[in-house]
């Protein structure tokens, strides 16, 4: 079976850095995705990791350790518009975690 | 423009009735997915299809049915057997290769009245 865990909620301050963790247990791993979802909207793609290490994309970075079944999404220079849910998902079937609701405060 | 379209955006259904949610994509994607999202929750996989004329159950398939007769279309039927159908339904598609992200439609919000 597959199991994906993320913290339910996090809060952070505008301009700060926040790290959202994701741990997973899956039979057959073909990559891990991070998505952002604003309330009432569809998720949008942020990043993809299939090999161990850090992938950087502007203010967003994602890290993967396959041996530990662990990933994190790092958001830098937080802005108010970053308040959203962040979902991690693993292939092969594209299963999602429950998501982490991030609230950014002034 | 290429994209994935779900219709309708809002749907009301009387208890005991079947209802079909539409999902169409013109991205030439092989794989398509249906998810259910309840308030404050993550996405749960209902059904997925890796290729035309083939589909697999996800984690919560009971009370739902799908078909994949065309590459572009993956309709979801919510049957009367689904005990708690009120939810936000999201359809997604991807190239089918593992290293490609899935693109989502805008979702259908189904309410049972």
pLDDT of B17-75, one tens digit each? 999 999 999 999 999 999 999 988 899 999 999 999 999 999 999 999 999 999 999 99
Are the beta carbons of A98 and B107 separated by less than 8 Å?
Answer: no
Q: What is the mean pLDDT of residues A78-87?
A: 97
Interface probe for B, chosen from A42, A86, A91, A102 (most Cβ of B below 10 Å), is: A42
CA distance B32 to A62: 25
Q: Is A82 helix (H, G, I), strand (E, B) or coil?
A: helix
CA distance B12 to B21: 11
Within 8 A of A90 by CB-CB distance, chain B residues are none
Q: Which residue does chain B place closest to A6, by CA atoms?
A: B42
Q: How far is A26 from chain B (nearest CA, A)?
A: 14
CA distance A9 to A100: 5
Give how far the C-alpha of residue B28 lies from the chain's centroid of Cα atoms, to the nearest Å: 17
Q: How far is A6 from chain B (nearest CA, A)?
A: 10
User: Which residue among B44, B90, B94 sits closest to A42, beta carbon to beta carbon?
Assistant: B90
| Neighbour-count burial of A105, counting CB atoms closer than 10 A to its CB (0-12 exposed, 13-18 middle, 19+ buried) | exposed
Computed on alpha carbons and rounded to an integer, the radius of gyration of chain A in Å comes to 13
A2 has a pLDDT exceeding 80: no
- Angle, vertex CA A34, rays to CA B53 and CA A28, nearest 5: 55
Q: Which of B5, B48, B41 is nearest to A37 (CA)?
A: B41
Task: Please give the pLDDT value at position A30.
Answer: 83
User: Which residue among A40, A41, A96 sits closest to B42, beta carbon to beta carbon?
Assistant: A96
């Amino acid at each position: 079976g597959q199991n994906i865990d993320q913290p339910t909620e996090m809060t952070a301050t505008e301009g700060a850095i926040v790290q959202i963790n994701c741990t997973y247990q899956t039979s057959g791993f073909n990559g891990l995705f991070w998505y952002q979802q604003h309330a009432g909207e569809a998720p949008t793609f942020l990043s993809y990791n299939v090999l161990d290490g850090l992938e950087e994309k502007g203010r967003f970075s994602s890290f993967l350790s396959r041996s530990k079944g662990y990933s994190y999404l790092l958001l830098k220079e937080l802005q108010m518009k970053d308040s959203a849910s962040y979902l991690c998902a693993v292939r092969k079937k594209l299963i999602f975690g429950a998501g982490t609701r991030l609230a950014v405060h002034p | 423009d290429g994209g994935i379209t779900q219709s309708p955006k809002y749907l009301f259904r009387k208890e005991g009735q079947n209802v079909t949610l539409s999902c169409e994509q013109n991205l030439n994607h092989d794989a398509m997915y249906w998810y259910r999202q309840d308030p404050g929750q993550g996405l749960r996989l209902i059904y997925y299809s890796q290729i035309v004329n083939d589909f697999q159950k996800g984690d919560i398939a009971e009370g739902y049915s799908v078909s994949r007769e065309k590459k572009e279309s993956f309709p979801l039927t919510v049957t009367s057997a689904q005990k708690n159908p009120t939810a936000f339904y999201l359809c997604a598609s991807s190239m089918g290769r593992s290293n490609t992200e899935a693109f989502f439609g805008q979702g259908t919000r189904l309410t049972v009245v």
